[in-house]
Structure 1
Amino acid sequence: MISVVMATYNGEKYIERQLTTLLEQTRRPDEVIICDDVSTDNTAQLVQDFIKEHSLADKWHFSINEKNLGYRKNFAQALAKATGKYIFLADQDDDWHLDKIAKMVALMQQQPEIKALNCAVQLIDANGEPLNLPESKAFYNAGFIYSKTPLAKLTQFNANAIMRNNISPGCTMLIRSELRDILVENYQAEMPHDWYLNLMAALDHGCYFLNEELIGYRIHENNTLGASTDTRWQKVLAKFDVSEKIAEQEDNLCALDNLAQALKLIDAPEVLHLEEYYGTRLAYYKQPNLKTLAKLKRYPEYRTDSKLRGRLWDYALALHLEKVIAKIAS
């Protein structure tokens, strides 16, 4: 059985197009779960009208929350309602390629080791036209993935890679229900639900990326990837905001500990190493200096996985040059 879960909030502009691409799949889902987070626009009415117009009430289930939960908790409750063995996550403003469900489910059925499968995205504009943005060297999947080696058709990602950053938006994901069950029992919204699911799968050696574009990922006024008039240095400064880095590292370490306990991996060498490495990174951000940076540089993944720009910024932070850079950039 195949489920699709969607969390909606003020998505009236594109929701009908997204629902249409679900309805027109070559392999239709057995159920669609849509949870609206108390939208203040016409989203709820549009969804209800779509379900009624296409006589989908027996398989498409729509509900409105009693109060606004935020996207993380809203998605978590939508996932909890799904009954399928294979569960897709969907946003409210994308265009699914019509063979997305068929191709991803077939691959997961063929390879039982896959616990979470992420597909590549094709960026599209507000009108659904392709956006062919040049990708920087070593960046893939519209810049979501950083990899020094070219990506194969199917690539496995380990927990260290997922701890650094998620590899794809949640709308590209297909998961097995076993992952959902663990999320429902343990998720505390420390990190985004899709990132949490990929990290969970990676800890179980089951996180994979399918290097095939199966979704149009819409870029519009409320959903941008780096669309800004800031200068290059202002973008760098924004990306390396220290307080945000500290909060992110603390949340990720909390999520890692949460999952390690849930998966009974609390003493696993991989988990202990990740906790040590990211704990050292957190200590550096809290007290940036050459001594704490030297401790961080002892880890091989710091050299192999970090981008040059990130390493240069770490040096600037250790030497307390960030205020000088900010003054120049302003």
Structure 2
Amino acid sequence: MRISIAMTTYNGADYLLEQLESLRTQSLMADEVIIVDDCSTDNTVDLLNMYIQKYHLDHWILIKNSSNIGWRKNFRKALQKTTGDVVFLCDQDDIWNKDKISLMVKEFHKSPSIELLASNYEILDFGRNDKVKIKDVELDNGAVVPFSLKNKSISVMRPGCTFAVKRELIVLLEKYDIDRFGHDNILWNLAMIRGTLYLYLKRLIHFRRHETSASAPKQSLNRERRVVEVDTSHQIAVFLLDVARKEHLDIKIISQLENMAMVLERRRDILKDGTLMQIVHFQLKYYTYYPTFRNLLSDILVFLKK
């Protein structure tokens, strides 16, 4: 099984060396490391070149974009350049457990049906070394559990930097890709509707979360922002439904996606133009489509907020 790492960089000099060191010292080395830099204006590229030369890392390939293409296209480019049977997604500023590759590859060998395996993680919050406990990722028992499509599970439950992905899923991403969604969002959901998404309940990276990152604590939510958020979820559901039909997936999956798309569309419309009473009636009927009680409650609060 050939192993690749797909990594992207942009002005990441502050924490880059810690990440590179954690990749180089893995107990099982990757066969290739593809690094795509998106026109950094700090010394990121110099650090990468010096590190690669210092340790004679001939299997590490640095690609420098001629113009800035943005993080979505940049990570897709890194994925496209890989050749491995399994590809590990990598951010520029995390720290990997030294056995991350070895342990996750072992699970792919044990269970060939897995196409996306996402590990648990510990957070390095806002650049500080404070470990922040997150309820759904603090398990560390090493269990591997399937994550199937449910009414409320369209949200991505792990950051992309925890993913290891089979080549077949990357091919599917390229076939159906639309770049208005993040690569991690599409990969997660494609694996979920195919029944090939699994969680590895072991903390294998220190994930550095910044104020600007998607996983950072959310800003106070107003009604307009909520409409955009739910509309995005609706677009993803419609996208997945289209893929499910074209790939002739199980009729139960197609039916679930049809219902999900319908519910999200109705929820978006009420949030946009409806009343508090309408959202309450909607929730009484479709409460199972909310991922958490807090999420349900926040739909009510945006109507009460002045």
> Which of 133, 141, 145 pairs up with 2:137?
141
Q: Residues 239 and 178 from structure 1, CA distance in 2 versus in 1: closer, same or farther, beyond 3 angstroms?
A: farther
Q: In structure 1, what is the equivalent of residue 198 of structure 2? A: 208
Runs of 4+ in 1 over 6 A off after TM superposition: none
Give yes or no for contact 2:234–2:261 (8 Å, CA) kept in 1: no
Is it true that 1:294 corresponds to 2:293 in the alignment?
no
AA of the residue aligned to 2:297: L
CA distance in 2, matches of 1:243, 1:7: 31
Is it true that 1:282 corresponds to 2:268 in the alignment?
no
Is it true that 1:169 corresponds to 2:159 in the alignment?
yes
CA distance in 1, matches of 2:291, 2:89: 29
Q: In structure 2, what is the equivalent of residue 6 of structure 1? A: 7
Aligned residues: 301
The alpha carbon displacement at 1:314 in A equals 2.7
Q: In structure 2, what is the equivalent of residue 231 of structure 1? A: none
Is it true that 1:310 corresponds to 2:302 in the alignment?
no
CA distance in 1, matches of 2:305, 2:211: 30
Give yes or no for contact 2:159–2:215 (8 Å, CA) kept in 1: no
The alpha carbon displacement at 1:274 in A equals 1.9
Q: Residues 6 and 106 from structure 1, CA distance in 2 versus in 1: closer, same or farther, beyond 3 angstroms?
A: same
Give yes or no for contact 1:186–1:262 (8 Å, CA) kept in 2: no
AA of the residue aligned to 1:264: H
The alpha carbon displacement at 1:17 in A equals 1.4
Give yes or no for contact 2:117–2:198 (8 Å, CA) kept in 1: yes
Q: Residues 154 and 74 from structure 1, CA distance in 2 versus in 1: closer, same or farther, beyond 3 angstroms?
A: same
Give yes or no for contact 1:196–1:255 (8 Å, CA) kept in 2: no
Q: In structure 2, what is the equivalent of residue 38 of structure 1? A: 39
The alpha carbon displacement at 1:261 in A equals 4.7
AA of the residue aligned to 2:193: L
The alpha carbon displacement at 1:312 in A equals 2.3
Give yes or no for contact 1:7–1:75 (8 Å, CA) kept in 2: yes
Give yes or no for contact 2:211–2:217 (8 Å, CA) kept in 1: no
Q: Residues 67 and 259 from structure 1, CA distance in 2 versus in 1: closer, same or farther, beyond 3 angstroms?
A: farther
| Structure 2 residue runs without a partner (length 5+) | none
Give yes or no for contact 1:162–1:202 (8 Å, CA) kept in 2: no
Q: In structure 2, what is the equivalent of residue 118 of structure 1? A: 118
Q: In structure 1, what is the equivalent of residue 26 of structure 2? A: 25
The alpha carbon displacement at 1:270 in A equals 1.6
Is it true that 1:187 corresponds to 2:171 in the alignment?
no
Identity value in percent? 30
AA of the residue aligned to 1:195: N
Give yes or no for contact 1:125–1:219 (8 Å, CA) kept in 2: yes
CA distance in 1, matches of 2:79, 2:124: 27
Q: In structure 1, what is the equivalent of residue 76 of structure 2? A: 76
Moved more, 106-115 or 244-253: 244-253
CA distance in 1, matches of 2:232, 2:206: 28
| TM score, norm. by length of structure 2 | 0.87
Deviation per residue, 1:95-136 (Å, 9 max, x gap):
00100000000011101121100001111257773x33344x
| TM score, norm. by length of structure 1 | 0.81
Q: Residues 258 and 295 from structure 1, CA distance in 2 versus in 1: closer, same or farther, beyond 3 angstroms?
A: same
Q: In structure 2, what is the equivalent of residue 16 of structure 1? A: 17
AA of the residue aligned to 1:208: Y
**How big is the alpha-carbon RMSD for the aligned residues of Structure 1 and Structure 2?**
2.8
AA of the residue aligned to 2:57: L
CA distance in 1, matches of 2:77, 2:288: 35
Q: In structure 2, what is the equivalent of residue 217 of structure 1? A: 207
Alignment partner of 1:241: what SS?
helix
Give yes or no for contact 2:5–2:30 (8 Å, CA) kept in 1: yes
Q: In structure 2, what is the equivalent of residue 178 of structure 1? A: 168
Give yes or no for contact 2:121–2:137 (8 Å, CA) kept in 1: yes
Deviation per residue, 1:208-234 (Å, 9 max, x gap):
111111101123465585468xxxxx7
Q: In structure 1, what is the equivalent of residue 131 of structure 2? A: 132
Q: In structure 1, what is the equivalent of residue 236 of structure 2? A: 252
| Structure 1 residue runs without a partner (length 5+) | 229-233, 324-330
